């Protein structure tokens, strides 16, 4: 019952200080939008990185005149390997085509026979797409019958891994930064709304209200502010994502946990900020 | 009920009260007079523990200024009724809620609150103003709300700081009649006032502050 | 100076003032009495154009409530001195600056301001409180600051709303003496008060508000 | 003199409402940091894109057995072209090396002569690195003596141009978004600090202060808040960039105009927000 009363008081308080509440909630919404946008960005960045790593391929070159049995054997061996996602065979004829694309010359114009070797293009499963793992696998595959060489874009992969590390580090730093800024901004805003009512808090104390009695409606208020802000921010994000998906970038990825995250974040910060803000005015002489 | 032992009080190094000792017994009615700035409000402030003596001890309702903890203060305050000189109404609550607030604080049941607050409102003639915010009241009406809030809890002690400063003579006498009545039911009253006419009409023990000293008259 | 023609005023559909007509001439001293909530402060509020009549016209210092523009209002207010019932001091400025504020507003030279404010402070005995914030003043001291602020500009008309409600009888008489003095120098004074003792001691034309009507006594 | 007085009043006002000012300025600092970080990010993104486009190359393949005079002629023609930044000659021997890298076979192991053509690798100046311009140039170069084919990474370039367009679009959208959020947050905060003093504004009006007289100290205050916030934010950014440069990413680019931008932004928004916020409480009944 006392809790119910506090909830009532919290709501009434918000009603009375409507302007302050509007400003405070709208600042919270803006902050949440910032945070939400960041989360969506991070999510999609992650998706892009995954897509990019999918393009990492290993080429297993056979001897130019490898026997069909060896080729079949290698194929089987590769396909048995649990780390492998797909194996694609490139015949001598396919290789000739690639040569023409690369050097602008039909190989049969130059030579009467095709000296290019057949090969396999291998794609690894997601968790194994690292230089280290590839090096390990390549060493093993080299010993398969009539395998001449195992080639992969060592440089590209290294560059990618290097970049990805930087990008991920940057993204995490940006995330931390935005989170800290969001928390501070919301705290400051709520603190200002409480500050505007410090005289009221003093009067309540004079009339014999306990700390808890005074504090509770503010906590409820912080909680409700967070709730309202999260709902609005979620709606904006929801429709924002929809619009982006429809008109601009159809591949955008979204995760419902972002909504849940924003809600918990807003309600939590609202609650804690309100609590900390009131405390300053409760200290009895 | 209330005891001051050698109480001294200074603000910014300037001594306002100088070794004051007095005692107000259960059921007493005491006037506190003195020029502007003599320290009347300061004495009341120490009784509800919003201020503390530099030296000496204030005892109110068994609680001593020397030992009271922050947690205990709200409970003492509830046992007192205070009519503040500047009213100290909550600006965002209407008349009813301002009066009810001091009961809600103590966890009284809503029904009980409603009954008592409405009775108080009727007694002070605030009926038509029930839903007004403080800003929508005249000075005298605000003062009556402050009085009602102090009385509604049936306090053991009533501290009234210039409770008739904004009231016309008729209303002032009505308030004094009310104070007399609750006093006769056992509530001690300490009233700071400049209205010597009222004191003459309702004579009681009178203490006068002069140059930081207390003189019984 | 001040003229009310058939002025009516309602709040929330409740009529407070009903067809009131009166006139205060240059140099007059007029008391305004009436019970709490009779509408005294409301009459004053309309004179400094913080409120406007529902019907009828208020004329103050040549400006009519029917025609005055938002831009003109500050200038009328400067020609009036108002002692507000609830003081309306700026909480973040000390005594000196509160009194000086109403002169700074008019662009008086700082030296001149200093001289006049200090003289005013001395006259009201606020000297030792010069650097106090309103919160560090007693009720009566705050009231004196409000009085000083209203007087410092040598207004044509002084509107005093219960200016002695927080003052002891001696201080009240001192204030009345000051008001008499500035009145004798040509300033019209309209003073709302409950202090009939003072009226008896300093008799002047007295208007009484009763049930929304004005009665000359 | 009256202006001097307003400045004095503005400063005194800030001193009196110290808590509100601290909260407000610190919110402004946070917002500026957000904006500043974004600007630095955008600046560096631009730098990266420029670097990336530098890697776009055009290969001009000669006939496999082109004469030295033709080669010299083509070289001269290319070097004369104003759009070109660098021209690098790839001899038949260099091409053989590339073949070995690409196919894991020494070409002399397969053939006794080298059938690979000599070529030029051309890099364009910054403003000409677009598919359109390259196509135009390539068409012209094809007609030079003994030029067999002009090849460039059509796909890569298209992809790059496509991505870059998206990334730039995204960055501009993010910039707009952050700017709007920053402006709104600062406005809300300043509005709250003014709101906490609305009673004082009312009293000033009652005592005969004109709108301008009341407004000016608030404007000064908004301006000073902006100034202080910009100075603090600039210091943080300055040392932040220094730290990142030293310990994390030495290639970070910085531009002093970012400091100037933050200053103007903060002072401007502070001033305008204060003005708009006070106005609401100046409206006379
Ligand atoms: N916080 C404070 N800081 C400094 N001085 C103070 C403070 N509070 C009160 N004073 C001073 O203490 C003195 C006593 O004040 P108090 O309010 O007790 O007077 P009072 O007897 O109630 O006067 P009044 O009849 O005018 O209400 C006054 O001179 C006042 O200026
Ligand atoms: N803003 C408002 N909204 C509603 N009612 C109001 C408002 N302001 C004043 N009133 C009512 O108008 C009536 C007259 O108020 P006013 O302040 O003029 O009385 P007063 O004669 O000055 O009384 P007092 O002697 O108590 O100061 C009161 O009953 C008050 O409740
Ligand atoms: Mg007092
Ligand atoms: Mg009044």
Give the separation between CA C166 and CA A1, rounded to whole angstroms. 42
CA-nearest residue of chain A to B81?
A: A207
Give the chains touching A; criterion: ≥3 Cβ pairs < 8 Å.
B, D
C2-80+155-216: CATH superfamily? P-loop containing nucleotide triphosphate hydrolases (3.40.50.300)
The predicted structure's pLDDT at residue A1: 47
CB B75 less than 6 A from any atom of ligand 1:
no
CB C42 less than 6 A from any atom of ligand 2:
yes
Residues of chain C above pLDDT 90, percent: 92
The DSSP annotation for B164-212 comes to: TTTS-HHHHHHHHHHHHHHHHTT-EEEEE---HHHHHHS--EEEEEETT
Overall average pLDDT of the D98-114 stretch: 74
The predicted structure's pLDDT at residue D142: 83
> D197: distance to nearest CA of chain C, Å?
10
- Among left, alpha and beta (phi > 0; psi -120 to 50; other), residue A265 is alpha
CB B193 less than 6 A from any atom of ligand 1:
no
Interface of B with A in 86-125 (CB under 8 A): 88-93, 101-102, 104-107
Give the chains touching C; criterion: ≥3 Cβ pairs < 8 Å.
B, D
Compute the count of residue pairs across chains C and D with CB atoms less than 8 Å apart. Answer: 52
Compute mean pLDDT per 10 residues along chain A, 285 residues long, and list them: 75 82 94 94 87 79 85 87 86 81 72 81 82 82 85 71 80 92 94 92 94 93 96 96 89 92 96 94 70
Residue with tokens 């990805």: A164
Pocket test for ligand 1, best of B18, B42, B165 (most atoms within 8 A of CB): B42
Rounded to 5°, the CA angle A136-A137-A142 comes to 105
The predicted structure's pLDDT at residue A156: 66
Q: Which atom from ligand 1 is nearest to the alpha carbon of C137? A: 31
Pocket test for ligand 1, best of B8, B10, B41 (most atoms within 8 A of CB): B41
> A17: distance to nearest CA of chain B, Å?
8
The predicted structure's pLDDT at residue A202: 94
Return the half-sphere exposure (C-beta side, CA atoms, 13 A cut-off) of residue D49.
20
Which residue is closest in CA terms to ligand 1's atom 17? C138
Overall average pLDDT of the B109-131 stretch: 93
The predicted structure's pLDDT at residue D93: 82
Cβ-nearest to D185 among A19, A27, A166: A27
Q: Which of A192, A233, A247 has the highest number of chain D CBs within 10 A, making it the mutation to test binding with D?
A: A192
Average pLDDT for chain A = 86
Bridge partner residues of D89 (DSSP): D120
Of A32 and D104, more confident:
A32
The predicted structure's pLDDT at residue A149: 83
Is D175 at the interface with chain A, CB within 8 A? Answer: no
- For domain A57-152, give its CATH number from 3.40.50.1100, 3.10.20.30, 3.90.1150.10, 3.30.70.3040: 3.30.70.3040
Average pLDDT for chain D = 86
Give the separation between CA A222 and CA A28, rounded to whole angstroms. 11
Pocket test for ligand 1, best of C138, C145, C169, C170 (most atoms within 8 A of CB): C138
The ipTM assigned to this model is: 0.89
Helix (H, G, I), strand (E, B) or coil at A90: strand
Overall average pLDDT of the C112-125 stretch: 94
Helix (H) or strand (E) holding D97: helix D92-103
CB spacing of B105 vs A284 below 8 angstroms = no
pLDDT tens-digit readout, B138-153: 999 999 999 999 999 9
Q: What is the DSSP code (8-state) at residue A113?
A: S
Contacts of C80 in chain D (CB under 8 A): 208
CB spacing of A205 vs B74 below 8 angstroms = yes
Is C172 at the interface with chain B, CB within 8 A? Answer: yes
User: Residue A32's closest CA among C160, C41, D185, B79?
Assistant: D185
Q: How far is the CA of C198 from the centre of ligand 4 (A)?
A: 18
Cβ-nearest to B165 among C35, C138, C165: C165
The predicted structure's pLDDT at residue B22: 95
CB-CB contact of A257 with A40 (8 Å):
no
Cβ-nearest to C169 among B128, B143, B194: B194
Please state the pTM of the whole predicted model.
Answer: 0.88
pLDDT tens-digit readout, B156-209: 999 999 999 999 999 999 999 999 999 999 999 999 999 999 999 999 999 999
CB spacing of C105 vs D284 below 8 angstroms = no
Give the separation between CA A96 and CA A58, rounded to whole angstroms. 19
Ligand nearest to the CA of C137: 1
CB spacing of D203 vs C104 below 8 angstroms = no
Taking each helix axis from N to C end, the angle separating A154-195 and A131-141, rounded to the nearest 10 degrees, works out to 160
Pull the structure tokens for residue D171: 């960055």
pLDDT tens-digit readout, D21-46: 999 999 999 999 999 999 999 999 88
Task: Judge whether residue B127 has pLDDT over 80.
Answer: yes
Task: Judge whether residue D1 has pLDDT over 50.
Answer: no
Which residue is closest in CA terms to ligand 2's atom 17? B138
Cβ-nearest to B74 among A5, A13, A210: A210
Chain centroid to CA A71: 42
Task: Judge whether residue C160 has pLDDT over 80.
Answer: yes
CB spacing of C51 vs D285 below 8 angstroms = yes
Task: Judge whether residue C217 has pLDDT over 90.
Answer: no
Task: Judge whether residue B17 has pLDDT over 60.
Answer: yes
Q: How far is the CA of C108 from the centre of ligand 3 (A)?
A: 34
Which residue is closest in CA terms to ligand 1's atom 6? C136
Contacts of B78 in chain A (CB under 8 A): 208
The predicted structure's pLDDT at residue D97: 83
Cβ-nearest to C35 among B128, B137, B171: B171
Domain boundaries, chain A: 2-51+161-284, 57-152
Task: Judge whether residue C141 has pLDDT over 50.
Answer: yes
Lowest mean pLDDT: which of A140-144, C161-165, C194-198, D201-205?
A140-144
Q: How far is the CA of B31 from the centre of ligand 1 (A)?
A: 18
Q: How far is the CA of B40 from the centre of ligand 1 (A)?
A: 8
The predicted structure's pLDDT at residue B88: 95
CB C11 less than 6 A from any atom of ligand 2:
yes
Task: Judge whether residue D144 has pLDDT over 60.
Answer: yes
Of B120 and D97, more confident:
B120
- Of the pLDDT bands very low, low, confident and very high (cuts 50, 70, 90), residue D156 is low
User: Residue A27's closest CA among D38, D276, D182, D269?
Assistant: D182
Which residue is closest in CA terms to ligand 1's atom 30? C137
Give the separation between CA B72 and CA B69, rounded to whole angstroms. 5
- Of the pLDDT bands very low, low, confident and very high (cuts 50, 70, 90), residue D166 is confident
Overall average pLDDT of the D60-81 stretch: 86
- Please provide the size of chain B in residues: 217
> A257: distance to nearest CA of chain D, Å?
22
CA-nearest residue of chain C to B167?
A: C36
Task: Judge whether residue D284 has pLDDT over 60.
Answer: no
The predicted structure's pLDDT at residue D143: 85
CB-CB contact of B61 with B80 (8 Å):
yes
- Of the pLDDT bands very low, low, confident and very high (cuts 50, 70, 90), residue D120 is confident
The predicted structure's pLDDT at residue D43: 92
Q: How far is the CA of C166 from the centre of ligand 3 (A)?
A: 8
Overall average pLDDT of the D43-69 stretch: 83
Q: What is the DSSP code (8-state) at residue C162?
A: S
Helix (H, G, I), strand (E, B) or coil at B105: coil
Contacts of A17 in chain B (CB under 8 A): 92
Task: Judge whether residue D281 has pLDDT over 80.
Answer: yes
The predicted structure's pLDDT at residue C126: 92
């Amino acid at each position: 019952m006392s809790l119910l009363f506090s909830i009532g008081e919290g709501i009434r308080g918000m009603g009375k200080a409507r302007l302050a509440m509007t400003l405070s909630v709208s600042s919270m919404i803006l902050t949440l939008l910032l945070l939400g946008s960041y989360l969506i960005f991070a999510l999609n960045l992650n998706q892009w990185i995954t897509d990019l790593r999918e393009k990492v391929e290993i080429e297993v070159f056979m001897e130019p005149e490898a026997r069909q049995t060896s080729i079949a054997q290698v194929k089987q061996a590769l396909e048995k390997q649990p780390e492998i996602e797909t194996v694609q065979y490139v015949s001598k004829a396919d290789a000739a085509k690639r040569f023409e694309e690369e050097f602008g010359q039909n190989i049969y114009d130059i030579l009467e026979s095709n000296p290019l070797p057949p090969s396999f293009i291998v794609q690894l499963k997601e968790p194994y797409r690292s230089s280290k793992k590839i090096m390990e696998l390549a060493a093993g595959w080299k010993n398969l019958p009539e395998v001449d060489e195992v080639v992969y874009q060592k440089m590209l992969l290294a560059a990618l891994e290097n970049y990805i590390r930087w990008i991920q580090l940057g993204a995490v730093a940006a995330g931390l930064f935005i989170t800290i800024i969001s928390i501070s901004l919301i705290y400051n805003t709520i603190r200002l709304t409480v500050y505007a009512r410090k005289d009221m808090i003093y009067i309540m104390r004079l009339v014999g209200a306990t700390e808890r009695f005074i504090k509770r409606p503010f906590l409820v208020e912080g909680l409700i502010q967070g709730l309202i802000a999260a709902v609005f921010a979620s709606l904006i994000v929801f429709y924002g994502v929809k619009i982006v998906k429809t008109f601009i970038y159809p591949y955008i990825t979204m995760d419902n946990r972002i909504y849940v995250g924003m809600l918990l974040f807003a309600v939590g910060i609202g609650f804690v900020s309100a609590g900390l803000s009131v405390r300053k005015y409760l200290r009895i002489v | 009920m209330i005891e001051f032992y050698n109480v001294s009080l200074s603000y910014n190094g300037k001594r306002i009260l100088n070794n004051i000792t007095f005692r107000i017994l259960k059921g007493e009615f005491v006037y506190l007079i003195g020029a502007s700035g003599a320290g009347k409000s300061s004495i009341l402030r120490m009784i509800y523990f919003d201020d503390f003596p530099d030296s000496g001890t204030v005892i109110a309702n068994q609680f001593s200024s020397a030992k009271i903890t922050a947690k205990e203060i709200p409970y003492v305050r509830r046992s007192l009724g205070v009519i503040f000189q500047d009213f100290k109404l909550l600006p965002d609550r209407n008349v009813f809620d301002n009066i009810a607030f001091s009961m809600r604080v103590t966890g009284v049941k809503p029904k009980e609150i409603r009954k008592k607050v409405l009775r108080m409102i009727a007694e002070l003639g605030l009926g038509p103003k029930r839903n007004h915010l403080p800003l929508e009241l005249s000075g005298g009406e605000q003062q009556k709300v402050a009085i009602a809030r102090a009385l509604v809890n049936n306090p053991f002690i009533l501290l009234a700081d210039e409770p008739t400063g904004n009231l016309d003579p008729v209303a002032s006498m009505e308030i004094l009649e009310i104070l007399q009545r609750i006093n006769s039911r056992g509530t001690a009253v300490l009233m700071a006032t400049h209205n010597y006419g009222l004191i003459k009409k309702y004579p009681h023990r009178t203490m006068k502050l002069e140059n930081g000293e207390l003189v019984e008259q």
